[in-house]
Amino acid sequence: MKRILTGTLVGGIAMLAAGYVIWDVLFLDFYQANPGAAENLWRDAPVWWAVALGTLTLAALVTAVIEKCDDLNVVSGFKWGGLMGFMIWLGVNMILHGYSNFNSLTIALVDPLLEFVRTGIGGAAIAAVLARTAGTTSSVH
């Protein structure tokens, strides 16, 4: 449980930071240029406690998967985290595009690629911290 909590916290912080750089700095203009049909969808300012809690919950899922990896290192963490981020957001974005005016098809397809990078970075951070913990405890594996 301590490993899951540690991975969740470290991964969550890494994902929040990477998410800010990707969506609020680097790709902000791209997202604003390709909106969904829904009007007034976005809040003027996000509810940060919900962003943090949601990101930590997703980081817990990534930690649960990476924790079971035999080869625990930064590269495998990036691959598993990236794969999970890509699949989760491709699936969710396509469903949202199918049911709602939340996103355009362009965003639904590009967003999972950016999530691959973001969740990959989170996965790498999680693997790094779990590998360190594995080296300092005797109860692992």
Partner 1 sequence: MDMKKLMTGAVVGGIVMMGLGYLIWEVLFANYFSAWDSGNDMIWWSAAAGSVVLAMLLTMWLDKSGAKAWMDAAKSGAILGFTLWLGLNLLFNAWDGGANLMLHLTDSVLEAVRWGITGAAIAMVSGSKAATSDH
Site of interaction with partner 1 (CB under 8 A): 37-38, 40-44, 46-48, 50-51, 53-58, 60-61, 65, 68, 84, 87-88, 90-101, 105, 108
Least distance CB 137 / partner 1 (angstroms): 22
What 3-state DSSP class applies to 103?
Answer: strand
Q: Which is nearer to partner 1, 21 or 94 (CB)?
A: 94
3-state class of 35 per DSSP? strand
Among the listed residues 5, 1, 13, the one whose alpha carbon sits nearest the alpha carbon of residue 125: 13
Q: Which of 62, 107, 54 is nearest to 84 (CA)?
A: 62
CA distance 57 to 9: 10
Q: Which C-beta is closer to partner 1: that of 31 or that of 129?
A: 31
Nearer to partner 1, 112 or 129 (CB): 112
Least distance to partner 1, CB of residue 55, Å: 7
